[in-house]
Amino acid sequence: MALDFSTEQQKLTVVLSGDMRRYDDQTRIAEVMSAAARVKEICFEAAGLKDWDSTTAALIYRLITREIKPKTKVVTASLPEDLQRLLALASAVDRKPAQPTMNKECFLEKLGGWGLAVGGGIKKALAFMKEAVASLVRFFCGRAVMRRVDFEFALEDCGYKAIGIVSLVSFMVGLILAFVGALQLKMFGAQIYIASLVTIGMIRIMGAIMAGIIIAGRTGAAYAATIGTMQVNEEVDALKTFGFSVSDFLVLPRLLSLMITMPFLTMLADIMGMIGGAFVAVLILDISAPLYWQYSVSAFGLNNFLVGIFHGFVYGLIIAGCGCYYGVNCGRNADSVGVATTRAVVASIVIMIVVTGLLTLIFEALGI
């Protein structure tokens, strides 16, 4: 294969010969391109060209479209007929769409755009919340259009199917809490207070947080992915065109099921955490089981328990809200479903933590 060239009186002759398939000599190509930029006429000689492929066409196409000066005369008559046809097809202007306009924004424009996007996002979130509340009101008034089977499916999915994972993780958290506490309390000979530490920790907040994080990753993500995929498949559009409320049809069953199951899952997490703590205390730290039970019961306050259950209920609202919000507002491609799922989980956890902080301050102020 060979790519030769000669320049004579503002005329560049490019000679293609031999087998030019898979031609990729960038040094030689750069020399030809450099020579092409300085002449007024380019003539291709291809009498000795035996074979060619897309690399040959790409090389010539680049030369005649990007490297030469405007009004440079190009003579391609010597090129094989099929190669000429291909180049003509690539250079056809009648089918060329309008050139895209690529926006290059300055910093201030980007900042403004970001501000507008945040504002738009808040507006959308408020509208979503308003719709969700309206759906709940319609449901309690018996006017919501919700399929019972959807509700039962959602209830099943975030109900007994979540028991295994919530139990395991909460048990391990109780166990870790007891171990970490034991290390410190042992210095004062106060290991027995592990029972109080684990009981108060789990029932007041840790049980609810653990259940919330697990359900956000498991169920909230599934909500976003399911509704997001429906958005991609235009199923959400179909619902809208039927005149159904998307909120009633898709959000309400999920919201109700998490509102119902999260307090129970929180209770389960509390119990499993306490069992985990007891496991460490009785089997490893040699604290007697009746004594551990006695201290656990004395530490167990109804206030703490109800605060934990309330947290669980609020987390249920947050998880269902985030999962459904990101699903309903998902884009129209496969990538968007992934983005919606990730955002649903991250937003659920962040909002849960922020709300926990606020609730802690409120309960503190109320003396609960």
Partner 1 sequence: MKTDKVKIKGENLTVAYGDNVVLRRVNFEVEKGDIFIIMGGSGCGKSSLLKVLTGLKEPAAGKVLIDGVDFYAADTAEQKKIMRNGGILYQSGALFSSMTLAENIALPLQQYTDYSAAMIKDLVALKLALVGLRGYEDFYPAEISGGMKKRAGLARAMALDPDILYFDEPSAGLDPVSAKLLDDLILEINQSLGTTIVVITHELSSIFAIGKNAIYLDSESKTVSAYGNPHELLKNPPNRNVLSFLTGGRE
Does 96 contact partner 1 by CB under 8 A?
yes
Nearest distance in Å: CB 192, partner 1: 56
Does 331 contact partner 1 by CB under 8 A?
yes
Nearest distance in Å: CB 251, partner 1: 25
Nearest distance in Å: CB 86, partner 1: 4
| Cβ within 8 Å of residue 55, ≥6 positions away | 20, 21, 22, 23, 24
Instruction: Give the N- to C-terminal CA distance of the chain in Å, as an integer.
Output: 86
**Look-up of token digits 């209920």:** 313
- x-marked contacts with partner 1 along 50-79 as a string, rule CB under 8 A: ---xxx-xxx-xx--xx-------------
Residue from 147, 303, 332, 353 binding partner 1 (CB under 8 A): 332
Q: How far is CA 217 from CA 22, 165, 221, 319, in A?
A: 50, 11, 6, 9
- Choose between 266 and 341: whose C-beta lies nearer to partner 1: 341
Q: Which two tokens stand for residue 359?
A: 């609730």
Nearest distance in Å: CB 81, partner 1: 9
Does 100 contact partner 1 by CB under 8 A?
yes
Q: Measured between alpha carbons, how far is 199 from 192 in angstroms, rounded to an integer? A: 12
Q: Which stretch binds partner 1 (CB under 8 A): 176-184, 265-273, 283-291, 327-335?
A: 327-335
Nearest distance in Å: CB 238, partner 1: 17
The 10 Å CB-count burial string (b at 16+, else e) for 159-196 is: beebeeebbebbbebbbebbbebbeebeeeeebbebbb
The Cβ of residue 149 has, within 10 Å, a number of other Cβ atoms equal to 9
Interacting residue ranges for partner 1, rule: CB under 8 A? 22, 24, 26, 29, 53-55, 57-59, 61-62, 65-66, 82-83, 85-86, 89-92, 95-97, 99-100, 102, 331-336
